[in-house]
Every structure is written in structure tokens, then in C-alpha cells.
Structure 1
Amino acid sequence: MRFVRFLNQGQPVLGVITAEGVRVLGNESLESLLARGVDLSTHGADAIGPLVEIAEDAYLPLMQRPTKIICAGLNYADHTKESPYDQPDYPTLFPRWNSSLTAHNKPLIRPRVSNTLDYEGEMAVILKSGGRHISKDDALQHVAGYALFNEGSVREYQFKSPQWTVGKNFDDTGAFGPVLVTADELPVGGKGLLLETRVNGKIVQSANTDDMLFDVATIISTLSEAVTLEAGDVIVSGTPAGVGFGMTPKVFLQAGDVVEVSIEGIGKLVNPVIDEV
């Protein structure tokens, strides 16, 4: 099943994409459904709400307040080579905050304080359950589905200190959506999928999710050694080479640019870039 969050008659609602079109499920969020242990595939199949069309400007972040957003950096070897870091033998993990999220067709905002906004096309993993000390063999049983994420990074602020958190959390720089595709509709662990990012129609990132150094099961298991994972947590699984920071000379996003992130079997996430007012 494929779930989407959007404004309908001025109210945020969750919908499911069916053969007939988008059917409204109601105003309960994905976060709430997952916390209640609802099986998304069954819930979507049982939908009886009205069929609607989604206006281009009506999309909302797939989840407004995930319980946690945890990002994996340096998870593609080719991206590490274009960064100022050596390849670590342990996942590079950092948080992202809900206030940084934006939606499909909504702008990524280049902040007043820096001209170094960069794109990072990534696959997001949404958990339906969690716990501690989850084995790698059991980890994928906790996955509800997958989505697209543009993990926009303000490089100047990312590299102001040894940890990256501020540069990864500017408002309206983390595009999330437009759909959640349930795990049963994709290869196990989201493997073998083509991931591409385009800027103004030009392909700048192209890789396969098989290229991740730490796969989805490994990231979940490793996180759970330290952190109690929960239903509704989001794991953003890393970006491949091709970011603007890695180019010579460096190329950062400008107002008027359009960034598209696509992953085979999931869809496309599109965001224009504007300057902060």
C-alpha cells in the first residue's frame, strides 16, 4: 500500500493510493496508527473514505512529528571519498528534528546566514515497532515501509564543529515524502533499488541501495544497542556521491533550482529552492 499526507478542505488528512485514485483515510496520523500497532496494509485495503484529487500545493510532510529521526552519514563509500572524512567502520549517526521537515512540492529554504545549502537524496525507513538489542536477523520485521528524503545540509554549519547537528537541522531543509510504500511492496530491506537525484533536470547522484555500507537491518540492530527504538521512528539511510560539496568547484543550491529525488519502486520527491525572506 502507498500512503500520502495532504490538506483536504483545509484539514490535514492521511490517504491511501488505490487503483481508483487517492482515498481519504481520515485525520489520524501515521505516527498514531503505528503507535497503536495498526497493520498499514490491512488498514489501507479497508479504506472506505471518499476519493479525492491532491492539489499540487497540498502535500504535507509524510509524518509531522516522528518519534525520532535518525540519519546515517557516510553510508556510501563513494560519498565518503568526496567528503573530508575517512571511511568509518561504525555507522555515523546523528539526529534530525521535526522542525526541519518540509513536503513534496514545497520549497527547500536557503537560509539567510549561508549560501552553502546542499542536497542529499536518501531512502527513509519508517519503523512499525522497536525495542532494544534487536538482532540483525529480526530487524526487518520492525519496518513498516520506505519513503524518500532529501536530507538538505547547510555545509558551512555542518563543518563548524566536529558534530554535524546544526548544519543538518535548518528549518525547511529536510524534504520527506510524498508517499510511504509498505515493506511488502518492495524488495526485502529496500535493497537493489536505483536512487537518483536531479538538479534542474540533470542527474547529479545515481546509485543503488545495494551500495550502502551498512544496510537497513544493520543500522536498526546497531541503533538498538544503545537506543530504544519505537514505532514511528524514521531512519534516513545515507546518500551516495554527487553532492554539490564534492564537486570542483563546489556547487550549492540557488534560489530557482529544482531538486528531484527518485527511488525505483517508491516514486519522486520534488522541491524548488527559495531564499529565506
Structure 2
Amino acid sequence: MTERIATFRAGGRDRYGLVTEGGLVDLTPEFGARFPTLREVIEAGALDAMVQAGAGRAPSWAEQDVTFLPPIPRPDRIICVGVNFPDRNAEYKDGSAQPEHMSLFPRFPSSFTGHGQPLIRPPENDTLDYEGEIAVVIGKGGRRIAAEDAYDHIAALTLCNEGTIRDWVRHAKFNVTQGKNWDRSGALGPWLVPFRDAAQLDDASIETRVNGELRQKDALRNMMFPIRKEIAYISTFTTLAPGDIIVTGTPSGAGARFDPPRYLVPGDVIEVEAPGIGILRNTVADEC
């Protein structure tokens, strides 16, 4: 069974531990004094020790009794790669070929919620859209990382629904930041899967379903900018740190590209799935 490590809230406090078929093994009592969050666990290279400590133990909490949180609280950087599949580039219908350099933008931790929680549609605009993606969590920091060494810097994988307020990405000529950072408009999770083998990414695929209908599906091998190149390029201009998250790109099929657009509405259920990682599931609710 795939090793799964989650951050969750239970019994009135934030915790972390292993996700098993029977529930969650809480490892906060054993590791929390040294490592307050999974970010510090990753920084210390202690993911394997934590997995071994929890192996075979009885669950501390039933899954229905916990609230899943984004796996890494307060990462220094969440950097997203835009328009990274050829079909996605073609959706823009601007006749452009593959760009020489990748498009990047930041997201703030407050713009994400956890697995099982609603994505929040704000009162200012109703164009909330979905983007299913695989995200990589940096384990070993570095600057100017060579592409051939990039996988050595990954600690774990997770999933992202990179929820977007489409009208707000058009508010300016060159940036999309304001459409990508509404509070709790996206989701990360449901957990971390330790990265142990190149095939976890080289053979990976991603799909997104809305209310059971398949909307997005593609293989990561089709990316215009593979993850090795993403890490190399990003680390050229910023020093990556343990716990940083790179959201690697979404396939074609987002709601904005339908005619008419098919934006998310309260009650919708969105599932982002990657074999070997899991399913990130969220609903939609209007902001109260």
C-alpha cells in the first residue's frame, strides 16, 4: 500500500500522521516536540523515520472524525506553472507555438484548503474554475539545480485543485496573481506520498472530474516543460527550500474553455486523481 502522510485537525488541534485503511495514526505526540509540522519533518529528512514509527500501529482517529488540512502549512514558496500542456496552449487559439520559457505565478497558503473542504466562491465574481494538477514538495533545497539532479530534491508528491477566479486573471495585462489567490479557492492534499522512484512522475497521469464527469486527463510525459526543467528553471532565480511546493501544470478541459463556460457552482463535487497518489475531493460553497 502507498505510504500516505497527512496533516489534519482532530481533538481541537492540528496534527500529522499516517493514513491507513482503518484511519489515521497520530504521530504528533511522538514527533511534534522536534517537528511542529510536516515542513520541519521534511527539512530534517525524517519522513522515512516517521513512516517506520507508524507502521503497523492501530489508528488513533477515524477518518470521519478528522478535518484534512493542506499537508505543508506556511511553505516559503508555492509556485505554479501555467499553460504547460500542448493542448492547453492550443486552447488559447492565438496561434502561438510552444513558448521558450515557462509561465509562472505565485499562490499564497491562504488560497488553499484541505481535502474534503469546500472551495469558496466569493460574492465579487462567479467564475470559479478548477485545474487539477500534481504538485511536488521540495525536500532538499538549492539554487541553480541541474535538471538531471532535480528529482534528488523532491521529498514528496501531492495533488492540487488550482481553483481560479477567471474574470480576475484578466484584470491586468501581464499577471494572473489576483485571480489565483482568493482565500480557500483551491485545495492541496489529501496527503503526501514520499517520492522514491522516477517512475512516480515519469509515468504519472492526472485527471479531473466534476460531479463524476471527466473534464481533464493527460499524462505528465506530455508536458511542454517537464518537472526536471521546472525545478532547474525556478531554482535559477530563487533558492528553493524544504517544504516549498511547485504546482506543475494542468491539462486542457477547464471550465472556462467550454462554450458556454462551465464554472463551478455550490454543491459541485470536484475530484482530482493521480494513480499512486490518490484522490483530492472538494465541494463548492459560497462565501458566508
Q: TM-score range by the shorter chain?
A: over 0.9
1:227-252 Cα offsets, whole Å, 9 max, x none, are 11101100000100000111111111
Match of 1:39 among 46, 49, 52: 46
Question: 1:72 maps to which residue?
Answer: 81
Distance apart, 1:21 and its partner CA? 4.7
Ranges of 4+ aligned residues in structure 1 off by more than 6 Å: none
Q: Residue 128 of structure 1 contacts residue 231 of structure 1 at CA under 8 Å; is this kept in 2?
A: yes
Shift of 1:193: 1.8
Q: What TM-score do the two structures reach when normalised by structure 1?
A: 0.94
What secondary structure, in the 3-state scheme, does the structure 2 residue paired with 1:144 have? strand
> Among residues 208, 222, 225, which one is paired with 2:219 in the alignment?
208
Q: TM-score, normalised by structure 2?
A: 0.90
Q: Aligned AA for 1:13?
A: R
| Structure 1 pair 274–210 and aligned structure 2 pair: CA distance change class (3 A) | same
* Deviation string, structure 1 residues 134-159 (Cα, Å, up to 9, x no partner): 11111110000100100001010011
Alignment of 1:1-277 (within 5 A): 1-18=3-20, 21-26=23-28, 27=32, 28-35=36-43, 37-47=44-54, 51-52=59-60, 53-55=62-64, 58-83=67-92, 86=96, 87-161=98-172, 162-184=174-196, 187-188=198-199, 190-277=201-288
**Contact 2:39 2:242 survives alignment (8 Å):** yes
Question: What number of residue pairs does the alignment pair up?
Answer: 275
Question: The residue matched to 1:15 in structure 2 has which SS?
Answer: strand
Change in CA separation of 1:172 and 1:56 when aligned onto 2, cut-off 3 Å:
farther
| 8 Å contact from structure 2 (residues 207, 216) kept in 1 | yes
Partners of 2:107 and 2:132 in 1: CA distance: 15
Deviation at 1:67, TM superposition (A): 1.6
- Mapped contact 2:129–2:254 kept (Cα < 8 A): yes
Q: Percent of aligned pairs with the same residue?
A: 38
Could you list the per-position Cα deviations for residues 67-117 of structure 1 after superposition, in whole angstroms to 9, with x for gaps in the alignment?
210000011111111136634221111100011010111000111111111
Distance 1:50 1:264 in 2: 26
- Paired residue secondary structure (2:105): strand
Compute the RMSD of aligned alpha carbons: 1.7
**Structure 1 regions of 5+ residues with no counterpart?**
none
Matched residue SS, 1:180? strand
Structure 2 Cα separation of the partners of residues 46 and 56 of structure 1 = 22
| Equivalent position amino acid for 2:105 in 1 | F
Query: C-alpha separation between the residues in 2 aligned to 1:267 and 1:92?
Result: 27
- C-alpha deviation, 1:220, in angstroms: 0.4
Structure 1 position 58, deviation (Å): 1.3
Rounded to whole Å, the distance in 2 between the matches of 1:8 and 1:116 is 33
Q: Matched residues in 2 for 1:136 and 1:193: separation?
A: 18
Report how far residue 175 of structure 1 moved: 0.2
SS at match of 2:266: coil
Shift of 1:257: 0.8
CA contact (8 A) 2:143 2:236 kept: yes
Distance in 1 (alpha carbons) for counterparts of 2:255 and 2:210: 10
Equivalent residues of 1:189, 1:217 under 8 A apart: no
Gap regions ≥5 residues in structure 2: none
The one-letter code matched in structure 2 to 1:193 is A
